[in-house]
Structure formats: structure tokens, C-alpha cells
Structure 1
């Protein structure tokens, strides 16, 4: 008898949580032990999969539509569903509401979190303890919870789709340029101000260098948080409210001719872009998960430069990437707790040195890229779905608290 598992967050191709949900749905589409559905409203135009994927998703989408229709008369209330509910948690460890503003509870409830500050309020810790299980997206998240007395926790890392993200021959576009990739939602936490400051110095030395950015998200307004550091100019916005990446780079001292903004790109279209890259730069201050964009770049064999902090620690192995070791501790909510380090501020000059190392020794860069791809070949969405299924099946209705 298959177990019902309800995903209580978005399913889409254009942002992290959505990609997570989409890949769980795809992985479970042919799994006889799981009957998956989504409580959150799904927009068909936000799912970019091929024809086979659309066919595989039909039963999931049908069950999701049926569930959401049943929730409509219960708008604004708390509803219950048989099976296990995977609850996306906010910073206060409160589950997000689903379609029709319903708080949907299962017979067992697994809180899923990628929190971004190690300091958690006492009432939030109490909410975490009340879940049957809390699944974190990184070893750093789990360590921070355990340091504050939460024991009902396990880590399930995000994955990559190896059918999409894997080493393959380059197409050779812009082969005369040295392509530096930087990706992720524009915000202070992701550290694109540090990356832009480092690239500015590198680009002055190497006119053929080209910064290829994939920074857009459905939440462009959070890019304003990058202004606080002063490492780059204030973020520039276009008339339509989106970030004007080329204008921001130019205001920060990087010529428009050395910046290529790939725009809001579906996840499945990223591999062909990534495989053209010479190096990927991730100066992130914090990752509650492992940094999905970094994982996908590494899976494609791109030599990656990673800040040694928070969720990135799950991706760092000797020889599998370049590591930014100098991580200045940050105060307040960004500090560590109970012996678990918090956010880290990467050193611009060390980031420049890593770019120079990748530029100077291409063979060593290729070796690091190959080692990184080997590491990521073990971190697939199939493995993520297997481990999440195991967590759900472990929670029988009788054992649910």
C-alpha cells in the first residue's frame, strides 16, 4: 500500500524550493511506495520539463489538483490529510500555508528547513521539537539545531539531476573568453557583492574575462540587501523592477563588455550554459542548504571556488574545488552559536587569487572540476528522494506524535 506524502511548498523550475519539490515529484512518479501530491498551488507555466517528464507528472498534478479542490471549502482554516506532510518552515519554524490559505497537517509531519541564521528563538526551537522529524538541508543546519537541544533532526542534502548536470563536451561558444560563472538569488547572503568586487580586479588584469551571471529570481527586491557592504555600487534596477545586472556591474567598475546576464533561465536549460564556464565563483556568506547552483556547476565539471562556511562545508573535499579559507566571523544574528560557526565574510583578495589560479593553471582547474563532478555524482535527486522517502515511511501513523 503506497504512503501518501504531501509536499507543502511550490513545485517549479525557476527557484530553489520549486526545483526541490519538482525533483521529488519526478523521482516519486514511478515509486510504488509513495503517492505524492502537492498542497501548494502549482502554475503550469512555472514547470519546464520535456514531454516525457510532463507525462510522468500527470498523476501527481491530478492528485494535487484534487487535493487543492478539497481544500477550497476549508479556506483559512487548518485541515488534515492522511499520510505524511512535508512542511516548508520559515525562520520561526512555522509551516507555510498552502492553497486557499489552509494550514495543512498530516498524520505525521516532517518540517523541512534551510534556515540561514544559527541563532534560533526559544519558541522556534519548541516548534521544531514538536514535529515528528525535522529534515535539514545541510550538516551546518543540523549541527546548529543540536547545539540548541533539538534532537529530532536529520540531514537530507539536495541533489542534482545527473541526466542533465554532468560533464560533457563544450559547444565552444565564446572560447576566446575566460568565462567566470556566478549564480544564485541576488542578496547579501549569497555574496555577489564580494564576487563582483573580486571580478573587477581580475577583469582589469584580463580583458578577455567575462562574468556570466545567473542572478535573477522571483524576488528581485531582496537584492537591495547587497548595498550594505559598500563592496559594490548600490544595486541598479530596471524600469520593470528587475535588477539591471549590466548597469550594476558598470556602476561598480566592470565594463558592460565583460558581463553577460543570462536572465531568468529554467533549471533544465542551465547545463549547456554551465559546461562552457572556465570557473565558477561562490563567495556566499551563508547557505542553509548546500547551494544548489554550486552543486549543479560542480556536477557539470566546472572548477568551483567555494567559501568555507555553513552549507558549503558539505561540498568541500580535498582537490574537488578551490576553497576560500579566510572567513571573517560576522556579528549579531549572523554569528555562530554553541561552538557552531555562523556566517563567513570571504576575503576579496583571496577570491582574486583563486580566480588567478584557475586562469593560470588550466590543467589543475580541469582536475579539480573532474573531482568535483565525481563528488556530485553521488548527490543526486534520486538519492535525496530515497532518503526523504525513508524518513516519511519511518513515521507510521502509530508513531506520529
Structure 2
């Protein structure tokens, strides 16, 4: 399809996956300047540097004006001469503005639930093409009957996520970092239980968690894994979860963990780089797990579960791998978990032991991780996306 422009039909932001994806996509397209780009919804909770804000300021104002115009004229449709990217979740449930159409319309999807309805596949095939965020997502969609599926990975912002000297703010502790919103599919119950055992052996260890979930009304279901038996308390709409209490309820001793709260994306590198190891035990990733990519890019030795979207990241020697993966029980939120994998607590404990005992080898793995992420820059990935749309 000829590209007269690209429209981003979701809210860019600094605190959740889709928002960060859209933010970096917009910045890179505007920076390159080859193709006009339009934001079609007003941003949500932006915490960005001044230069990026200046770069996007006119697009942000245009998005505000468009939203006001559409709200003022109920039922109105905006037709834009551009390829509009419409976001979708499970079963091609669209969550962008339904009032905006392009000269061509494409769908971008990240999904974990592998059950699709006939109506969902029909919605998918109504688009010019479907962009999938991982090879696993692409393979599943093709198997389900989606006709034109194209792989388009997310990128990582190498201007901030890169190796740099540690400040050694916690030099007397073995710091373990884990990111991603708290929920069943992210596997934080596996992390908590493994760390509980590990900390009994190594009292100098501390777990830094960046797990806040501002979408907890959708369902956390963390106890469904059979590893912990308590759910985190919801603090109210828009306030997230009481993660500190949940960690204590799961048996972690005081001062062995730190809840980092809701951290803006731009502030994460200094936290990640102070860590001795990062770990991500997701049962499923529809994309490639932006948090894991950021840790790899910082040169922090990273532990990854070997399933779904993580498989696109794993390369020879660039991370610690958890190959032992068992089946996962379905939940109300995820009724079909075909292709998912549950990591072994015992294997994770032993992997942490390896990183603890041999710091030189861990640093070498971290170095390879950073090198493997160079080709995953947003510049490269946006070029690939434009190519897939062309």
C-alpha cells in the first residue's frame, strides 16, 4: 500500500506498554521526517524529556483538537489520508477511537489468550493487514485463519537504555530487579517464591519490584498458578495494588524487598543498572516484553522464561534461560493458554545461584545481552514497520 502518512490510534504515554510503544513510534517517525505522522487521541500521563515534548508538541495539540471536534459532533467520522494503525487485544477487540478511518486501515495486536471467535477472525480479515508483535503471535494468527499477518517487533530506546557505570548505591546488597505489571501471566508468583528460598540462603539479597498494575480491575489472578494462595489488595480505581502487603503475605521478610511504585519509563535505566540481575518469568508474552528488552539493553544480566514472545529475544549467550516450561492452567481472564509455559521455581533458584556465585560470568552475559539489543533500536524497528506497511 502507498504510504501518505501514518496515524496512531491509541493514547501514547509513559507508564504502560501500549503507551510506551506509541510514544516511541511517534518520536521516531517524527524524527525521521520521511512520512507524516498523526496522533489520533490525546496522550495519557506523559512524563518525557523536554526535547521529546517539543518534538511532539504540534502533534499532541492536533490530537486534542481532533478529540474535541469529534466529541462536539457526536457520531461524526474523521477520514484521514494515511495508513491508520488500530490497536487490538484479545479476539481483535479494538480499543482505539472508532470515529477515525484512514485511506487504509491496519491492525496491530499483542495477545496472550489463544482462543479466537469466528467474529474476531472476521474483524482481523477486514483490515488491509494485521501486524503481530512476536513470531509466536504471528504463527498463532496464521493457524487461526488470519490471511495477511506481518511480524513487527517493538524496539528499545538505546539513548537511555544502554550500559553505563554503576553508581553502586547498594554495593552491600545483591540486587535483583523484576518489572512488569503484577498478574498471572507475568509470573511474579514464581519470582516471589524463588526469591523467598534464595534470600534464606543469601541474606544480602534484595528484590526490587516494578510491578504496579493500574489495570487491576481487569483481574490479577496471581493465585491461579498454585504457588501463592493470596491475591493483592486493590487500592481503588486508578490507585493500583498494595504490592508491599502482598509481598509480606507471600512470606518475604521485611527489608528483603522494595516496591519501586509506578516508575516513568525514562527513570528506569538508573534503577536497572544498579541491579546485579534482572528476571522475567512470564508465562506468556504476546510481544517481546519491553521490560526485558530494556534490562538486556542496559547490560544487566537477565533471566528469561523460554516461551512465547521471549523466544524472539533469546540468542546464544545473551541471557540466562529457563528452558523447563510446564503447562499453565486457564483462568477467567485467560480461558485458553495453549502455548504458554510455567517456569520451575527450583530452576530459577539455581539460576540465581549461578549469577550470585560467578559475577564475572554474569557480567559477560550482560555484555552480550546489550550487544544483542543494538539491532532492536526503535530506529531499526520503525523502519521495519514502515516496510511492512508499504
Same fold per superposition (TM over 0.5): yes
SS in 1 for 2:364: helix
Q: How does 1:293-312 map to 2 (within 5 A)?
A: 293-312=291-310
After superposition, the Cα gap between the structure-2 partners of 1:97 and 1:26, relative to the gap in structure 1 and judged at 3 Å, is closer
Q: Cα deviations across residues 12-55 of structure 1 (Å, max 9, x unaligned)?
A: 00100000111111111233322212222324xx1111111111
Q: Which residue of 1 aligns with 2:287?
A: 289
SS in 1 for 2:311: helix
Q: Which residue of 1 aligns with 2:80?
A: 81
After superposition, the Cα gap between the structure-2 partners of 1:75 and 1:186, relative to the gap in structure 1 and judged at 3 Å, is farther
How far the C-alpha of 1:120 sits from its partner, in A, is: 1.9
Q: For 1:52 and 1:266, locate their aligned partners in 2 and report how far apart those are by CA, in whole Å.
A: 16
CA contact (8 A) 1:29 1:60 kept: no
2:381 counterpart of 1:384: yes
How far the C-alpha of 1:239 sits from its partner, in A, is: 4.9
Q: Which residue of 1 aligns with 2:349?
A: 352
How far the C-alpha of 1:388 sits from its partner, in A, is: 2.1
SS in 1 for 2:31: coil
Q: Which residue of 2 aligns with 1:58?
A: 57
How far the C-alpha of 1:77 sits from its partner, in A, is: 5.4
CA contact (8 A) 1:279 1:358 kept: yes
Q: For 2:94 and 2:85, locate their aligned partners in 1 and report how far apart those are by CA, in whole Å.
A: 9
2:101 counterpart of 1:105: yes
How far the C-alpha of 1:79 sits from its partner, in A, is: 4.0
Q: For 1:144 and 1:112, locate their aligned partners in 2 and report how far apart those are by CA, in whole Å.
A: 14
Q: Which residue of 1 aligns with 2:146?
A: 150
Q: Cα deviations across residues 106-155 of structure 1 (Å, max 9, x unaligned)?
A: 11111000011233222212221221010011010001111223231111
Q: Which residue of 2 aligns with 1:166?
A: 162
Q: For 1:329 and 1:362, locate their aligned partners in 2 and report how far apart those are by CA, in whole Å.
A: 32
Q: Which moved more, 1:138-147 or 1:55-64?
A: 55-64
How far the C-alpha of 1:6 sits from its partner, in A, is: 1.2
SS in 2 for 1:385: helix
How far the C-alpha of 1:82 sits from its partner, in A, is: 1.9
Q: For 1:308 and 1:28, locate their aligned partners in 2 and report how far apart those are by CA, in whole Å.
A: 32
2:128 counterpart of 1:132: yes
After superposition, the Cα gap between the structure-2 partners of 1:367 and 1:214, relative to the gap in structure 1 and judged at 3 Å, is same
2:196 counterpart of 1:200: yes
CA contact (8 A) 1:184 1:216 kept: yes
Q: Which residue of 1 aligns with 2:34?
A: 33
Q: For 2:129 and 2:260, locate their aligned partners in 1 and report how far apart those are by CA, in whole Å.
A: 39
Q: Cα deviations across residues 210-246 of structure 1 (Å, max 9, x unaligned)?
A: 0000001321345631022241241332755532222
2:222 counterpart of 1:231: no
Cα-Cα RMSD: 1.9
How far the C-alpha of 1:90 sits from its partner, in A, is: 2.5
CA contact (8 A) 2:283 2:328 kept: no
TM-score, normalised with respect to structure 1: 0.91
Give the unaligned 5+ runs of structure 1: 337-341, 395-401
After superposition, the Cα gap between the structure-2 partners of 1:257 and 1:115, relative to the gap in structure 1 and judged at 3 Å, is same
2:8 counterpart of 1:7: yes
Q: For 1:142 and 1:350, locate their aligned partners in 2 and report how far apart those are by CA, in whole Å.
A: 29
Q: Which residue of 1 aligns with 2:47?
A: 48
Q: Which residue of 2 aligns with 1:372?
A: 369
2:216 counterpart of 1:220: yes
**Across the two proteins, how many residue pairs are aligned to each other?**
383
CA contact (8 A) 2:213 2:241 kept: no
After superposition, the Cα gap between the structure-2 partners of 1:76 and 1:288, relative to the gap in structure 1 and judged at 3 Å, is farther
Q: Which residue of 2 aligns with 1:326?
A: 324
Q: For 2:367 and 2:315, locate their aligned partners in 1 and report how far apart those are by CA, in whole Å.
A: 12
After superposition, the Cα gap between the structure-2 partners of 1:303 and 1:351, relative to the gap in structure 1 and judged at 3 Å, is same
Q: For 1:76 and 1:349, locate their aligned partners in 2 and report how far apart those are by CA, in whole Å.
A: 56
CA contact (8 A) 1:182 1:281 kept: yes
Q: Which residue of 2 aligns with 1:90?
A: 89
Q: Which residue of 2 aligns with 1:397?
A: none
Q: For 1:19 and 1:127, locate their aligned partners in 2 and report how far apart those are by CA, in whole Å.
A: 25
Q: For 2:73 and 2:132, locate their aligned partners in 1 and report how far apart those are by CA, in whole Å.
A: 30
Q: Which residue of 2 aligns with 1:339?
A: none
